Amino acid sequence: MKCLGLDYGGPALKYGLMDTDANLTEQGEVPAPNHSAEEYLRVTGEIFDRYKDEVDGIAVSMPGTFTDETVLVSGGAYLNILKGTNIRELLETRCGVPVAVENDGKAASLAECWNGNLKDCQDGIAIILGTGIGGGIIHNRRVYRGRHAAAGEFSYILTGGKSGVFNMSTYTCSTEGFVERAAVMKGMPHQDFYLALKGFGAEEEIARLRAMVKGPQYPDMEMNGFTAFQLLEKGDPDIAMLYDELLDSLTQLIVILAHVCDPDRFVIGGGISKEARLIADLQARVAAFPGKNIIAVPGFDVQPCFYRSSANLYGAMFNWLQQYHSELVS
């Protein structure tokens, strides 16, 4: 039994064939069909037609929040063209096979649950450090969605002590937020997302960052996660300060979620999580959290995600199996 996995994320639509033993083949990608509903259906249909004699279903991962796991209602690059659309019905009508749809962050958590670093856990949490903070809550080896499918939307949890965008984990904990702060402090060019939010406190945040600069400027370099960690390894005082803030905010987020959900394990993925020292430093910071000897949660560990660039395809397949062939997965 095989599925066509489709991961609609960022600038590309990634696809591949996957069987029930998690063997992924025929991988490829095309430019994201996010300009119109007609383009979305046409491009998806063309990929399906290529493999229609080999597959038994379609497993979808895409950004956004869905009601009943199928109707896109908020968020993501496809919102403007597909809001209110029943994605499952749309694709089943076009392709004639069973379709399962999942949010991309939740798909990443399902991948870890299936064959990743949550596979031995009944309850776990995946935190994905991207443009914002994605992920998912696994309870009894299934994604917990909540009343409005918003469970696992960690971006809006406050970790800075005050209200406002610049104290939300979407900024304080994300790869994008870290990179933007680093770019401001080092005088480097960068395409801002959060620090372009004029009227939401961006001006004050930029002023705060610039007032704390102690190290050299690098106006001829472009900032990204790799550059930031290179400067960190060289002992740059500004990046070291930002990295300390990042670790503190991530630790706060983890401790908050530990008290709310009491998972067996946290796994961290996306963006800068591939930097080996981040996981080691975060483990140490969580272990040393003030008052840890009196917090109510008896114990949990923090590990990196097992899956990387193909995580959403694996998670989409696991979601499809849970919906249509639960007898094949525990």
CATH 3.30.2320.20 fits 117-304, yes or no: no
Q: How far apart are CA 17 and CA 78, in angstroms?
A: 23
Question: Do 2-104+309-328 and 117-304 come out as alike in CATH topology?
Answer: yes
The dihedral of CA 255, 260, 266, 269: what is its sign? negative
Query: Pick from 199, 155, 161, 157: which is nearest to 177 by CA?
Result: 155
- The average pLDDT across 206-230 equals 94
Q: Indicate the range of 57-71, 125-139, 201-215 predicted with least confidence.
A: 57-71
CATH 3.30.70.20 fits 2-104+309-328, yes or no: no
Q: How far apart are CA 284 and CA 290, in angstroms?
A: 12
Query: Pick from 67, 130, 141, 68: which is nearest to 104 by CA?
Result: 130
pLDDT, residue 293, reads 56
The total of other beta-carbon atoms located within 10 Å of residue 94's CB is 16
Query: Pick from 192, 196, 193, 201: which is nearest to 163 by CA?
Result: 201
For 76-106, write each residue's pLDDT tens digit: 778 889 999 999 999 999 999 999 999 999 9
- The average pLDDT across 237-244 equals 97
DSSP output for 68-101: TTTEEEE-STTHHHHTT-BHHHHHHHHH-S-EEE
CA atoms within 13 A on the CB side of 178: 32
Q: Is the pLDDT assigned to residue 295 strictly greater than 90?
A: no
Pairing, β 123-129 against β 265-269? parallel
**Residue 302 confidence class, pLDDT cut points 50, 70, 90:** very high
More confident residue, 98 or 296: 98
Domain extents for the chain? 2-104+309-328, 117-304
What distance lies between CA 103 and its chain's CA centroid?
A: 10
For 39-64, write each residue's pLDDT tens digit: 999 999 999 999 999 999 999 999 98
